[in-house]
Amino acid sequence: MTKAELLRSRAERLAVAPSTDAVQSLELMVFSVGAALYAVPLGIVRGVLTEAVTPVPGVQAWVAGFINVRGEIKSVIDAAVVFERTASLTASSCVLLLETRHGVVGWLLSALPQVQRANRADLQTPLSGLAGVTGVLLGTIALLDIDKLLESLS
């Protein structure tokens, strides 16, 4: 088999449409804020850090502070304050780095998030008018649109 034939064969195998299971499933990063569960698409997650957040005085209450990510300073938003809970900066806090329209932003969480797969057919329309909630999964997990949520904060 020539190199061109080998490459053509590989391209044909890779060009096969994804299975319906892959199209019907959602990969999510699920995290808790108090007793409530929230999720974001796994595709926007850029990392989870356990480094300390540097608080900054005189900023909005929902800004937990800043964190140094490989030499770049990133804003960190306190998810608990956004969702009207008590601030979550504790010794066991972590920062979920999310890609947004405005670049990477950290979300301060009180516990490590978990990757979870859900069926797209289980996605329901949210009953609340909370900005940034685009759907509800399994009746308990609010699926977030981070860009819309950030817009509602400003």
Asked whether 95 and 103 are in contact (CB, 8 A), the reply is: no
Q: Looking at the whole model, is its pTM more than 0.85?
A: no
Bridge partners of 72?
69
pLDDT tens digits, one per residue of 42-76: 999 999 999 889 998 999 888 999 999 999 999 99
**Exposed e or buried b for every residue in 115-151, given b needs 16+ CB within 10 A?**
ebebeeeebeeeeeeeebbebbbeeebbbbbbbebbe
State the distance between the two ends of the chain, measured CA to CA, in whole angstroms: 60
What is the torsional sign of CA 104, 105, 107, 108?
A: positive
Q: Is the pLDDT reported for residue 27 higher than 70?
A: yes
Asked whether 29 and 42 are in contact (CB, 8 A), the reply is: yes
Provide the 3-class DSSP secondary structure of residue 127.
Answer: coil
pLDDT higher for 85 or 94? Answer: 94
